[in-house]
Amino acid sequence: MDMTSTDVTNSTDAHARPDHVPVKFWDPATGGIRVEALLKSYQELERKMSGPTDPAAEKAKALALLGVPDKPDGYCIRCDHGLFEPDAEINNRLHGAGYTPEQAQLLYDLAAERMLPLLQEMAAGYQAEAELEKLASHFGGPEKWQELSGQILAWGQRNLPSPLLDALSGTADGVMALHRLMGEGGGEPKALRRGADSDATGGVGDLNRMIADPRYWRDRDPGFIAKVTEGFRRAYGNG
C-alpha cells in the first residue's frame, strides 16, 4: 500500500526529537532518550562539581564530628592517682583508632583501676620478703630463724593479747621486740600484773594505741618505732 504525504509527515513527527532533549541523548531509531548516555554525563558532571576526594581529609572530617581531636596531643588525660603518666605512644595508637577524649580517659582510668590492686599486692609481697630476709639475717640465717619463729609465736600466744601479737608479728622490728621480751622477761608481763593502762612507757593500753598509730604500722617512723619498742621492753622486762 502506498503512503500518502500526510502519512510520511506523521511518521517523521512521531520520532522527532523534543526541543528540550540534547541531540546526544536522543535515539532517533527508537524515538526515546538514551538513558545510559544521560547517566554517564550526569556522573561526569557530579565528579567535576565535587572535585577530587581526599580519603585522609574525609576521615578527619568524620572523626571531628565524633569529637576526636586533630592530633594525639589533643587528649588531656588526668592521672591524679600518680601510678603512671600519659604515654605519647599509647595516645598515638588511641588517636589512630579514633578514640574520643572521653574514651581515652576511660581507658586510662580502667588501667589504673586494675593495676592498683596488683601493685599493692606486689608491694606487700616485696615488703614481706624483705622483712623475712631481715629476720633471717638478724637471727643467723634461715634455719635459725625457722627454729626461733615457732618459739617466739608460742611465747606471744601465751603472754600477749591476740591483737597486740598480730600487730607486732606483722613486721621484722615487732618480731625482734617480741624475741627480746621473751628473753628478758618471759611469763606474764609486769604491766598486765599491775593493770597499768596510762603510762606511755609501760601501760599495755597505751602501747596498743601506739601500735594502732599510722606512724607505727604505715609510716614506719624510726623514732616512733623505737619508742614503742622501749615501751614493750619496760612493760615486759624484769624488775
Tens digits of per-residue pLDDT, 216-231? 767 778 888 788 777 7
Q: Which amino acid is at 168?
A: L
Instruction: Give yes or no for residue 25 having a pLDDT over 90.
Output: no
Instruction: Give yes or no for residue 200 having a pLDDT over 50.
Output: no
Instruction: Give yes or no for residue 201 having a pLDDT over 50.
Output: no
Element (H, E) at 128: helix 101-138
Mean pLDDT of all residues in 18-31: 82
pLDDT at 62: 67
Average pLDDT across the chain, whole number = 74
Q: Please, which pLDDT band fits residue 81 given cuts at 50, 70 and 90? A: confident
179 vs 78, more confident? 78
Mean pLDDT of all residues in 135-151: 86
pLDDT at 132: 85
Cell of 167: 600487730
Q: In this structure, are residues 27 and 34 in contact, taking their beta carbons and an 8 Å threshold?
A: yes
pTM above 0.75, yes or no: no
Instruction: Give yes or no for residue 105 having a pLDDT over 90.
Output: yes
Tens digits of per-residue pLDDT, 161-172? 777 777 777 778
CA distance 129 to 229: 22
Instruction: Give yes or no for residue 9 having a pLDDT over 70.
Output: no
Instruction: Give yes or no for residue 205 having a pLDDT over 70.
Output: no
N- to C-terminal Cα separation, the chain: 151
The percentage of the chain sitting over the pLDDT mark of 90, rounded to a whole number, equals 9
237: left (phi over 0), alpha (psi -120 to 50) or beta: beta
Phi and psi, residue 27, nearest 5°: -110, 100
Q: Please, which pLDDT band fits residue 189 given cuts at 50, 70 and 90? A: very low
Burial of 191 (0-12, 13-18, 19+ CB in 10 A): buried
Q: In this structure, are residues 225 and 173 in contact, taking their beta carbons and an 8 Å threshold?
A: yes
In 10 A of CB 51, how many CB atoms? 7
Cell of 179: 624475741
Q: Please, which pLDDT band fits residue 77 given cuts at 50, 70 and 90? A: very high
Separation in Å, CA 81 to CA 66, 84, 108, 170, 208: 28, 8, 11, 27, 32
